[in-house]
Structure 1
Amino acid sequence: MLDGYVSYALVYTEQTRRIFVIVSPTRGRFVLTKECATEGCRCIGCFLLEATVETDDGPYSVLDLEGGKQVQDKLFAYRFTKPGQMFIDALKHQYADYRGPITIAHLNKLFDQPNALLMIDRADDGTFTHSYVSSTVAMRVISRGCRATPHCPCIACRIVDMAYAENPDNIVPTVDISSSRGTPDGKLLLPIWIDDSIISALLSRDPAIRHSFTPNFFESPLEQIFYELALLDLHLYPQHRVGKYRLDFAIPDKMIAIELDGHEYHKTKYQRTHDAQRDRWLFGQGWHVLRFTGTEVYKDIDRCIDEICKLAKVERLSPRPLTRID
């Protein structure tokens, strides 16, 4: 498990003064003081360098001074210790915002403390297994059977494709592929330096987050709901074409077609005949066709996902919510 959110103190030393800046994921970036006289000064910056916090295990320094690192000429950065976070939380004064170029992402990289890691392991069959660990999510497998093809719909490839905006002119990939590292046992580690709360919520099937990862070309709310709740377990290709037909969902490498019928009693005789002809044609091409009614999906979507996973011979990875969709 990774450490929790880390805050930093920047100390810039000029000829006649020192400037102290706090960079915190909880309080933002602000100038603590820029009037430190360095010699014999008792400003809040000097206090920060000397302060300790009493804990049950004894006193702890607010800053990890021995682990400080040089950021630029005359500019050093120090991590706050875990007890030292109390120093930041106790600050009441409204300080001026720091508008310099140093961000929490830069400092995390400097101190090699990513907020999350995506771990990739190649299986014996040539597919990839992805695991995820972060400051809020314990190590867990999030995807199996990934073939790393273009537009792969697995949740790990979606995370790799994510980006966020530090500002309108700076779009940053969520996963820092350029800083990847190999492990002695052949796994690949990809760091994530940004706040991982959105990814953690997605992996927990938070409905407020799921909608942001859903394509907007579904023909019905039923298809959208199904996709949102199944994407953590299944590599689903929506609106997949096979011959002259378009499937609601497909797992092409497993030759599995998934059709959602909504309310079956609303179908005309022609529609039912057309579906039967299509199912027979797909069967003749080697496809397995699974059909679910709207009632099945709304009443017990986890049973539907379980059935697909069993046919596809994949293990379910997502936590199970309540079975009924309200």
Structure 2
Amino acid sequence: MALRIDPHVHSALSDGTDSPRELLEKAVAVGLDVIGAMDHDTFDHWDAFRKAHAEMLAVGGNPPAIILGSEVSTSVNHAPIHLLAYLPDPSRGNIAAVLKNAHHDRLARMKRMVAKINVDYPLTWEDVEAEITGLTPGRPHIGDALVRKGYFPTRQEAFEKALNPGSPYYVFRPNIDTFEVVEATLADGGVPVIAHPFSKGRAKHVLAPEVVRDLAKAGVKGIEVNHREMVGEARQLAWDLAQELGLFVSGASDYHGTGKPNRLGENTMPEESLRIILELGVVPLLGSIEFTER
């Protein structure tokens, strides 16, 4: 039986709601063999996943194997591109150098948004800080604070009404050049993959197919095709570009716990794509797997 691989999930160490241990246990419950720990703009979550994995093994559990990585928020020509960096060696320092100011800029952006929101929905930065329990703060934590204050019933509705790019409260994220992150990922021995490239409703500026072609030339190895926000023409376009450019095809839940409706394991990656990641990445898979015979 083919491995069930969900290579793009998030824990509470960024904007998910499950701890690494809880996430691993839920992955077992839904029959996943491999997950990708892709918390945002950091590699500091790796140790927590290693610890959770070891703890489950120590008590006789059978945790899924883990592809260690990070989802980096980047852009080209104002079009946001979420780049998945799989199995790099962060100690080489190339991605770390790119991300050095990202957290400072992220906090500054959030504080500007809170100040704008506060005009219509009384909200303080302290309210938002109370929601930040992980390593990487972001808009979901503003959404959670708005929910806790009673302004919206769910995080999703807070995004739809106050935190989306068309909202008057929205502040665009600081620019991190996608090509720079691709170069840094490759230099650190990692495997760069474009996540949900043509997602509907994520931003005003839409990613152009020509940019994907340029990113493939720069060294991007794969592209997410199967993702709940990639429907109809968007999914077909991603598939066609993968075939044209020789990119491996991925699929993932982009699971965030209760923070999003995405269900763990609802989309998965083909085994052959995982083989490529493991062949190219310099950090080994955490745990062991047995591939189906070719």
TM-score bracket relative to the smaller structure = under 0.3
Quick check: which has more Rg, 1 or 2?
1
Q: TM-score, normalised by structure 1?
A: 0.23
Give the structure-2-normalised TM-score. Answer: 0.25
Q: Which has the higher helix share?
A: 2
Larger strand share, 1 or 2: 1
